[in-house]
Structure 1
Amino acid sequence: MAAGIHPSAVIEPGARLGENVRIGAFCHIGEDVIIGDGCEFGPHCSVAGPTTIGRDNRFIGHCAIGGEPQDKKYAGEHVELVIGDRNLFREFVTINRGTGSGGGVTRIGNDNWMLAYTHVAHDCVVGNHCVFSNNATLAGHVTVGDHVILSGFAGIHQFCRIGAHAFIGMGAFVNGDVPPFVMVAQDGYGRPRGINSEGLKRRGFDSTRISAIKRAYRALYIAGSSLDEARGKLAELAGESEDVRALLDFIDSGERPLLR
């Protein structure tokens, strides 16, 4: 048995492991799985393929990675999971592969933290530097931007988009697109409750950028305008702020209703 692989672990023929990979007790690594250098798997983890995992990822224990999509339309098509680098997956995290009708690939970026019992369903795309707290759940086809925080027990409806730097509060159920920078709090279904000012400060946003984002939030959520009227105001503000331009582009590219 190779160094770093527990004798009780099962590595199926066809699996490809990089250098310095450590695999704990009672793990199962399926065929058509590629694991990059420096990855670590605690006890009782399973990885089904086709799954490609980058380097220096940690799976603490009891993770189920790359399982079949939980979709009745799935009929055994060739679908994949692709995970980037330096992610942390805590206990009992589950991540499914894509579906044939949904693009075929679930993607996880780099430097994310997914805490205990979080779930990422089929065809989701998660960016970089996100934190998913315990029991946070993505339904199928959800797109999450960079630096997003999902608090514990947050749930995101299928096909929704969560913009970069958004913050979803504990227990909030999100059934519409959340623009970049916005905070959402639990109130039956989640509702916008300001911008993520503290998170933006921690990421180096200065007072000028934050003030512009606040003005955009007021135009979108507080002024009492229709969405078309708010778009017009945002277009004016976008001339002086790249962040407001990003927020407006997010709104204009959506297919689901905007969370308001």
Structure 2
Amino acid sequence: MAIDPSAEVHSSAVVEAGAQIGPGCKIGAFCLIGPKVRLGTGVELKSHVVVTGDTVIGDETVIFSFAVIGEIPQDKKFGGEETRLEIGQRNRIREHVTMNPGTAGGGGLTRIGDDGLFMAGCHVAHDAIIGNHVILVNNVAVAGHVIIGDQVIVGGLSGIHQFVRIGRGAIIGALSMVTADVLPHALVQGPRAELDGLNLVGLKRRGVDRADITAMRAAFLMLKQGDGSFQERAQRLSEEADSDYVREMVTFILGDSDRGFLTPS
């Protein structure tokens, strides 16, 4: 066990031998920290937090009460193999959030980026890869092997099916069940989620140039109404695109997909 002298550990907390607690960490009452856990600088665990498994938590991340981080995957195929959970810097992980490490069959790693907000009751399953500045609103369930890009917002009580990819900057409306890949900067909503346009509010808030937004709207219209299959339309776009945002969309469509795509209706 290595606890930096500047860390504050409540007398009722249990820090098992082998754990590494970085400078300026604050460990609240009745927390449990497993022997393979490593906390960076300034990590704060409120009361009753469990962090276990081979779990790394980046600087200045705050985890609120009754979260369980790094417990074994909810996967019947998991056989106790050594796998990891990596959480980046400055995340806010709220009450009752659960995050599981990877599995051997999925690459052995679940990774969370920086500056995320994971609201109360969210679940991140094994082998998920989540980018930076992601917001999961209350009770979002992210299944195994999901990939979520940077700056994605997922509305409350939504579910993301296993192996789904969600592109950068997309927004998912509340109470949505997402069963297919979501294009970058898309707007998705509905009980059985449907692609409903572009996340124009998010694009404008991030200061995206008007010319790029216009190009994306034209690309979306072509994907919706052009000749040929969805993939064929995307291939034509790849030959004509003069916007980095359109090229990003096309690259996403032409990449590997295990679930197909939510397409414009």
Fold conserved (TM > 0.5)? yes
- Aligned partner (choices 201, 217, 220) of residue 220 of structure 2: 217
Find the counterpart in structure 1 of residue 163 from structure 2: 159
> Does structure 1 residue 208 correspond to structure 2 residue 207?
no
The TM-score with structure 2 as length reference comes to 0.94
- Aligned partner (choices 39, 54, 65) of residue 43 of structure 2: 39
The TM-score with structure 1 as length reference comes to 0.96
Q: Cα offset for 1:236?
A: 3.8
In 2: Cα distance, 1:67 partner to 1:217 partner: 41
Comparing 211-220 and 31-40, the one that deviates more: 211-220
Please tell me whether the aligned partners of residues 237 and 244 of structure 1 are also in contact (alpha carbons under 8 angstroms): no
Find the counterpart in structure 2 of residue 198 from structure 1: 201
Cα RMSD after superposing both structures? 1.4
SS at match of 1:164: coil
In 1: Cα distance, 2:26 partner to 2:225 partner: 52
In 2: Cα distance, 1:117 partner to 1:217 partner: 34
Please tell me whether the aligned partners of residues 165 and 182 of structure 2 are also in contact (alpha carbons under 8 angstroms): yes
Q: Unaligned 5+ residue runs, structure 1?
A: none
- Aligned partner (choices 74, 84, 88) of residue 84 of structure 1: 88
The one-letter amino acid of 1:25's match is A
> Does structure 1 residue 124 correspond to structure 2 residue 128?
yes
Comparing 219-228 and 121-130, the one that deviates more: 219-228
Q: Cα offset for 1:245?
A: 0.7
Deviations 1:136-162 (A, max 9, x none): 110000000000000101110000000
Please tell me whether the aligned partners of residues 235 and 250 of structure 2 are also in contact (alpha carbons under 8 angstroms): no
Deviations 1:215-260 (A, max 9, x none): 111122345752133213422442x111111111111113221112
In 2: Cα distance, 1:37 partner to 1:129 partner: 20
The count of corresponding residues between Structure 1 and Structure 2 is 258
In 2: Cα distance, 1:237 partner to 1:25 partner: 59
In 2: Cα distance, 1:19 partner to 1:41 partner: 14
> Does structure 1 residue 144 correspond to structure 2 residue 167?
no
In 2: Cα distance, 1:116 partner to 1:150 partner: 13
Please tell me whether the aligned partners of residues 180 and 250 of structure 1 are also in contact (alpha carbons under 8 angstroms): yes
Q: Cα offset for 1:5?
A: 1.1
Q: Cα offset for 1:206?
A: 1.7
Please tell me whether the aligned partners of residues 108 and 127 of structure 2 are also in contact (alpha carbons under 8 angstroms): yes
Comparing 1-10 and 173-182, the one that deviates more: 1-10
Please tell me whether the aligned partners of residues 177 and 254 of structure 1 are also in contact (alpha carbons under 8 angstroms): no
Please tell me whether the aligned partners of residues 219 and 225 of structure 1 are also in contact (alpha carbons under 8 angstroms): no
SS at match of 2:105: coil
> Does structure 1 residue 232 correspond to structure 2 residue 244?
no
For residues 49-88 of structure 1, the aligned pairs below 5 Å read 49-88=53-92
The one-letter amino acid of 1:47's match is V
Please tell me whether the aligned partners of residues 82 and 108 of structure 1 are also in contact (alpha carbons under 8 angstroms): yes
In 1: Cα distance, 2:108 partner to 2:261 partner: 26
Find the counterpart in structure 2 of residue 257 from structure 1: 260
The one-letter amino acid of 1:29's match is I
Please tell me whether the aligned partners of residues 63 and 93 of structure 2 are also in contact (alpha carbons under 8 angstroms): yes
The one-letter amino acid of 1:77's match is E
Please tell me whether the aligned partners of residues 139 and 157 of structure 1 are also in contact (alpha carbons under 8 angstroms): yes
SS at match of 1:67: coil
Please tell me whether the aligned partners of residues 106 and 145 of structure 2 are also in contact (alpha carbons under 8 angstroms): yes
SS at match of 1:20: coil
- Aligned partner (choices 189, 196, 220) of residue 185 of structure 1: 189
Find the counterpart in structure 1 of residue 247 from structure 2: 245
Find the counterpart in structure 1 of residue 28 from structure 2: 24
Find the counterpart in structure 2 of residue 113 from structure 1: 117
